[in-house]
Structure 1
Amino acid sequence: MPEALTHYQNYRPFAGFLHFCFQSLKAHNNASRRASLNRAHDYLRLSSRPDLLQTHLQLNENLAQQKREWPHYDYGEGYFYQSLAELGVSGLRSTEARLNAYQLLDRVRDKAVLDIGCNAGFLSVSLAKVARHVTGFDVNPFLAALARTAAQALDRTNTEFLATGFEDAPLCGPYDVVMSLANHSTFDGQTRYNLQSFFDRCVSLLKPGGLFIFESHTPSFEGEGIAQVCGIISQRLNVKRRDLCNYGTYLDRGRTFIIAEHSKL
């Protein structure tokens, strides 16, 4: 990563592009390979968007610090898990595709939104274009820093990003919309809640009549446990829609997506 930073500090389009492409050849899995190629193409495209170079430097400084100091699983495989087209950032999962597939902009318009486990916050920052306010948090402090950098670069002042776990998050709900996108359990065990406690707190933070937006992990990780998760949600909320995602890459397809409403009674 320190070597990667030198390419942002001294921008050389083709030299940097070739370096990051070469890094992809040494990747240890498909996601890591994709992350390196995303970086390579984003870096080359900066030649037509020099106004974004300083922001990319700041974002990659955050990534470098994360690599040095965060001992847990890196969901972005060295680059970004989420994309943010407005800043010329590609991700392992397309934020723009998720916005469209789940019709998120329409669902959060003029509303106060909570994004649980927001990762780099790129989806939250995108929602802030139309939401009244978006609060996101992640237990990884370097991801929260990425979110704040992105929000500042796009002047999304109606956002707040906290570095905290869900159990300790000082949240000022209730919210019109609570989103739990692929984080009710974690690969790296960074949660103390069991499923019952997790969804109980989600409901407690939701206004009567508010929306709960849920996305599962990939089927390979979720397994048959998704039936229990869906059952817990349906016990607490009025499920309005349940679908399987059929867009994007292997990291997107097959995930369960739920829209549920908090009863006003």
Structure 2
Amino acid sequence: MKDIKTMKSRMIWLLLSVLLAIAMAFAQTPASAQVECRNVQAGNTTDTDNDGFSDYEECNGITLADGTPFNSLDPNKKDLFVILIPADPSYLPSEPLEYVYGLGINVHKIYPEQASNDPDYRNDRIVSPGSVYQQKAVRVAESLVTEIDPHILGISFEGTPNSRDNAVVYTAKIINHVNSVYASANAGQPPSDIISRYIKQTIAHEIGHVIGPLAPVSLRDQERYGGYHYKSGTNVIMDQSVYYTVKGNKVTFYIGTTYTSLDKEGIKLK
């Protein structure tokens, strides 16, 4: 029995030594090098953060399609440009991209005329026509259409900004949906912040489909949840749909306002 205990003790110490060595190796692994703009030379085409703009462009600024100088770029952090096109009248809330900022990257809202507008899809939405990689912006249009499937509150195609376009958010249908749930429960008028949060969530959700796509679920879950979505009720932005409950005349909407860590790791802009 004494020999067995001694052997076990040695094995435990050996295992602890191995784990300690692994931990030290990870601790000594250098972090990825940060770009220092003073060292970036003109003509450098490296894109360290893989966002479609060269390090030189991000350090020295770009010129938008309408001639506007733009200098708020970071070579060490992805830069996403978003074109948001309101309807007339518009039901977009203030700070409509609030939840998109939670991606942990730089998000820049620009006007339609500040990116190229060409009938040729290949040349449409280019942020800076003079740039090396001709990176495109994400475009999201507000629609007041209510006649199509009332369950479809937003639509987009999976891909990256350079490969997909035409994300649409149906704000009037979102308003109708929330109002109808409250009406059927005799719950009175819904709080206005619910509709605002729902619209912001839908904008963030549709953008999530065209910058990756996000929600890296299995093929089985894609079939179950209608594409790159998490199960409704997970309470994150990329849920298949916003979950709600009705108990008596009490209505509760669970509107996810955050992306998961896997979503953030899966961002692809080109």
The structure with more radius of gyration: 2
- Do the structures match in fold with TM over 0.5? no
TM-score by length of 2: 0.24
Q: What TM-score do the two structures reach when normalised by structure 1?
A: 0.25
